[in-house]
Amino acid sequence: MPDHPIESQAPQFAGGAADPSDPLGPAELALSASLVRASPELSATLRFISANLTEPERGAEVVAARQALVVVLDLEARAGFEARVDLGAGRVLSIERLPKTVQPGIALEEFVLCEEVVKRDPQWRAALARRGITEFDKAIVDPWSAGAYGDEKFPEARLAQALTWIRGSDDDVGYGRPVEGVIAWVDLITMRVLEVVDDVAYPLPPPTGNYTANSVGPMRADLRPLEIIQAEGPSFRVSSRLVEWQRWRFRVGFTSREGLVLRDIAYYDRGAWRKVLRRASLSEMQVPYGDPTPTHNKKNVFDVGEYGIGRMANALTLGCDCLGAIHYFDADVLTMAGEVETLKNAICMHEEDYGVLWKHTDWRTNHTEVRRSRRLVVSFFATVGNYDYGFFWYFYQNGDIAVEVKLTGCLSVGALPPGVEPTHGVLVAPQLYAPIHQHFFSFRIDPEIDGEGNTVFEVDTERDPEGPGNPYGSSYRHRTTPIRSESEGARDADPARGRTWFVAAPGRRNAVGRPPGYKLMPGADTVRPFAHEGSSLLARAGFIRHSLWVTRYDPREKYAAGDYINQNAKPDGVAAWVKQDRPLEATDLVLWYTLGVHHVPRPEDWPVMPVAYAGFMLRPAGFFDANPAMDVPPPVPMHSCCVS
Ligand code: CO
């Protein structure tokens, strides 16, 4: 009998069929599109913005037929519509017109159309010519979301602010020579340029930004191969979208809005599957820029709610960054025309060696026990205009779950005259500056630690008062405070207090008589926004005010800035929902954790930024009765060797 109470037998692989919560497949997407197209309430001029499964509600006894929520833009009606489709019955259940005050997200194909129309526009051409630029064919034009500042000249339009760069060659990143001061306001419905703002006229910076292997000069020649060999294959098993690896089990989902979605995450412990998380995904993003100049002062984008980051997922057939035995999941989406597009290999899953898992050397006996850590990685990468974001979920043998965002790609930059220093940014190349900005990522974490009734506690550490109980003035202890209702549920990271949040199953007890649970541990990136109260930014992106929000589970509350954020001046979202002040103890709750990445750019971030990593961790804290990874076998060196 081992002295650690840890299950060492692997679970039988359940395998499994499709699940009612799996993403819409190609046939379902095609059916959704054709049913919506045939609806008499809608005109023939539709743009499909998104189509995703209406996921079964928690606790629903009977799973009804699968339903889709299709969001379309009707050009004739100049309005967005939500269509609910019953896929089993093959009929449209309802069609609802969106309020005039909101626009559905911007479709990828609208980027392309917008660029074409701007490049043909005489006003835009005149503005470029005024700067001595006539290479219109070398221009690239990115539509940035318009925001909702209250001073829009064309508030009724489906707006984009289109910014321009002149590409030096096909081998540069495209963004190295900004046309400062030219902003084309475009109506994405009529695809007409409404106005071209012509502000400062600065010369184009010198050509810069080459990044392809054949354009950056000789490659370093002193790198020898490092190969990952998994001769017996990977240690995970996959059936449909169900994954089992070591003691972990979960389902891999996807939506065009959030990208990767993980569901039904459980850990096999002492002969039973124990629930950990019901659903976990990126719920919203916000990237506010701090530069007050006209070309940059309305840059604040919601990459999830405004663009649909899942739709932007890279097909990793174009280049995958992972090594070893990889399993890919495709992602199916609808194009703007309502055609099914399959993003091949959009989600990547593989194993990684992760150094030492645990180790002890008994210095008296000279006996060493060491185990190597293996982690399972599930990830996708998305390209949103100039930036590239990787979203990585890591599962560890010790019960940890880590979330990591990888920020890379190309900075959003502006031009300055020679010799001028930026006031709200950093020169990254001559006459080229990158404004200061931030990246906020809100993750929606729906826990079900050992079931559905969970409580969140804030865990701070504080010093004891001076006195007899603290004879040397150095005593400190951790203090655990329940978050009892939503009015107490907006919390900030506090590294000086070692602050974490503990999600517990209050009705259960572990081997030492405490409730089992997981703690949410903030990473290093916990910066707060600098916008003033009353700003458009905080009115729309209320979720960025705090590191953590806790809400009572409500299936309608899916995205941290609400369902429709594009041009919406007063969206709902988590900051509004908590005003209900619903009770949070021993109940079905949701955690919204927002990473705050502060970005004072550096010349080293140009022309392509080395990956910046930001993340947080979910770590068992009394969920297990001891280290759950004691049964990982010692490593067997197969190809390692000594070098001198
Ligand atoms: Co950045």
Backbone angles phi, psi at 145, to 5 degrees: -60, 150
Q: Which of 414, 431, 413 is nearest to 609 (CA)?
A: 413
221 alpha-carbon distance from chain centroid = 36
Record the tokens describing residue 488, joined without a space: 């107490």
Q: What is the pLDDT of residues 250-273, one digit of tens each?
A: 999 999 999 999 999 999 999 999
Q: Could you tell me the distance, in angstroms and rounded to a whole number, from the CA of residue 206 to the centre of ligand 1?
A: 23
Amino acid at 244: E
Q: Which of 119, 146, 208, 181 is nearest to 410 (CA)?
A: 208
- Residue 430: exposed, middle, or buried by beta-carbon count in 10 A (0-12, 13-18, 19+)? exposed
Q: What is the pLDDT of residues 324-370, one digit of tens each?
A: 899 999 999 999 999 999 999 999 999 999 999 999 999 999 999 99
What is the predicted pLDDT for the residue at 1?
A: 41
Are 489 and 578 contacting, i.e. CB atoms less than 8 angstroms apart?
Answer: yes
Q: What is the pLDDT of residues 416-463, one digit of tens each?
A: 999 999 999 999 999 999 999 999 999 999 999 999 799 999 999 999
Residue of 175, 289, 307, 387 marked active site: 387
Other Cβ atoms within 10 Å of 34 Cβ, number: 12
Q: Could you give the residue ranges of the DSSP H alpha helices within 535-602?
A: 536-540, 574-577
- Residue 2's pLDDT band, with cuts at 50, 70 and 90, is very low
Record the tokens describing residue 267, joined without a space: 């850990």
Q: Could you give the residue ranges of the DSSP H alpha helices within 17-162?
A: 26-37, 108-120, 122-130
- Residues 392-395: contacts with CB within 8 Å, 24+ apart? 392/615, 393/260, 393/262, 393/280, 395/245, 395/246, 395/248, 395/250
Q: Which of 614, 592, 572, 590 is nearest to 491 (CA)?
A: 592
Q: Could you tell me the distance, in angstroms and rounded to a whole number, from the CA of residue 438 to the centre of ligand 1?
A: 6
E strands, 159-230, are 159-166, 178-187, 192-198
Q: Could you tell me the distance, in angstroms and rounded to a whole number, from the CA of residue 437 to the centre of ligand 1?
A: 6
Mean pLDDT value across residues 104-132: 97
Residue 620's H or E segment, with its range, is strand 609-620
If one compares 417 and 10, the residue with the highest pLDDT of the two is: 417
Domains of the chain: 26-97 (3.10.450.40), 108-198 (3.10.450.40), 243-313+399-620 (2.70.98.20)
- Residue 320's pLDDT band, with cuts at 50, 70 and 90, is confident
* Residue 303 annotated in active site: yes
Q: Can you tell me whether residue 543 is helix, strand or coil? A: helix
d(CA 263, CA 278): 5
What is the predicted pLDDT for the residue at 80?
A: 97
Q: What is the DSSP string of 448-487?
A: -TTSS-BEEEEEEEEEPPSBTTBTTS--EEEEEEE--BGG
For tokens 């759950």, name the residue.
Answer: 628
Q: What is the DSSP string of 495-525?
A: GGGT-EEEEE-TT---TTSS--EEEEEE-S-
Supply the DSSP symbol for 249: E
Are 236 and 209 contacting, i.e. CB atoms less than 8 angstroms apart?
Answer: no
Residue of 142, 264, 269, 303 marked active site: 303
- Residues 244-248: contacts with CB within 8 Å, 24+ apart? 244/11, 244/13, 244/14, 245/351, 245/376, 245/395, 246/374, 246/376, 246/395, 246/397, 247/7, 247/10, 247/11, 247/397, 247/628, 248/376, 248/395
Are 572 and 562 contacting, i.e. CB atoms less than 8 angstroms apart?
Answer: yes
Q: Could you tell me the distance, in angstroms and rounded to a whole number, from the CA of residue 412 to the centre of ligand 1?
A: 8
What is the predicted pLDDT for the residue at 17?
A: 74
Q: Could you tell me the distance, in angstroms and rounded to a whole number, from the CA of residue 439 to the centre of ligand 1?
A: 6
Cα 136–Cα 138–Cα 140 angle in degrees, nearest 5:
95
Q: Could you tell me the distance, in angstroms and rounded to a whole number, from the CA of residue 433 to the centre of ligand 1?
A: 13
Q: Could you tell me the distance, in angstroms and rounded to a whole number, from the CA of residue 406 to the centre of ligand 1?
A: 11
Q: Could you tell me the distance, in angstroms and rounded to a whole number, from the CA of residue 491 to the centre of ligand 1?
A: 24
Q: Which of 481, 444, 488, 456 is nearest to 587 (CA)?
A: 456
Residues of the chain with pLDDT > 90, as a percent, come to 90
* Residue 387 annotated in active site: yes
d(CA 413, CA 382): 20
Other Cβ atoms within 10 Å of 148 Cβ, number: 23
Q: Could you tell me the distance, in angstroms and rounded to a whole number, from the CA of residue 454 to the centre of ligand 1?
A: 35
Q: Could you tell me the distance, in angstroms and rounded to a whole number, from the CA of residue 529 to the centre of ligand 1?
A: 14
Q: Could you tell me the distance, in angstroms and rounded to a whole number, from the CA of residue 155 to the centre of ligand 1?
A: 29
What is the predicted pLDDT for the residue at 449?
A: 98
Q: Could you tell me the distance, in angstroms and rounded to a whole number, from the CA of residue 355 to the centre of ligand 1?
A: 29
Q: Could you tell me the distance, in angstroms and rounded to a whole number, from the CA of residue 468 to the centre of ligand 1?
A: 51
Q: Decide if pLDDT at 6 tops 60.
A: no
